[in-house]
A and B are shown apart, each in its own frame.
Chain A
Amino acid sequence: MNWKRTLGLDNLSKEYAFARSEATGYVSAQKIPDYWVPTTCGYCSVGCGIEIGVKNGRAVASRPHAAHPVNRGKLCPKGLSEHYILESENRAKYPLLRKNGKLARVEWEEALTVMVERFHATQAKYGAESLGVLSTGQLVTEEFYALGKLVQLGFGTNNYDGNTTLCMASAVSGYKISFGSDGPPGTYEDLEHADVILLIGANLADNHPILCQYLEANRHKTLIVADPRVSKTAMMADLHLALKPRSDLALLNGIAHLLIRYKLIDRDYVERHTAGFAELERFLEKYTPDRVAEITGISQEALFKVALLYGRAKAGFIGWTMGVNHSTLGTATVNAICNLALLTGHIGRAGAAPMSITGQCNAMGTREAGFTSGLPGYRKFDSARDRAELAALWDVDESRLPRKRGLAYPDIVEAAVAKRIRALWIIATNPLVSYPNQDVLQHGLSNLEFLVVQDGYHPTPTTELADLVLPAAIWGEKEGTYTNSERRVSKVNKAVEPPGDARADFDIFLAVAEKLGRRDELYPGWRTPEDAFNEWRRVSRGRLCDYSGISYSLLAEHGAVPWPLPEGSHPNGNSRLYSDGVFQTSDGRAKFICADWAPFPEQPGGKYPFVLNTGRTVEHWHTRTKTAEVPILERLSPRAWLEMNPRDARRLGLRSHDAVDVVSRRGRVEGVELRLTEIIAPGQVFMPFHFAETNVNEVTQDAFDPISREPNYKQCAVRVERSLANARSGANA
Chain B
Amino acid sequence: MSEQTAVKRPVARKEMTKAQWTWKEMKRNKVAYAMLAPFMILFLIFTVFPVFLSMILSFTDFNLLEMPNWVGFDNYIHLFLDDDIFIIAVKNTLIFASVTGPASYLLSFLIAWFINELGPKIRSVVTLIFYAPSISGSVYTIWKTLFSSDAYGWVNGTLMELGIITSPILWFENADYVMPLCIAVALWVSLGTAFLAFIAGLQTVDKSLYEAAAVDGIKNRWQELWFITLPEMKPQLMFGAVLAITQSFGFGAVVTTLCGLPSVDYAAHTIMHHLDDYGGQRYEVGYASTIAVILFAIMLGSNFIVKKAISKVGQ
Query: Does B associate with A?
Result: no
Q: Which residues of A approach B to under 8 Å, CB–CB? A: none
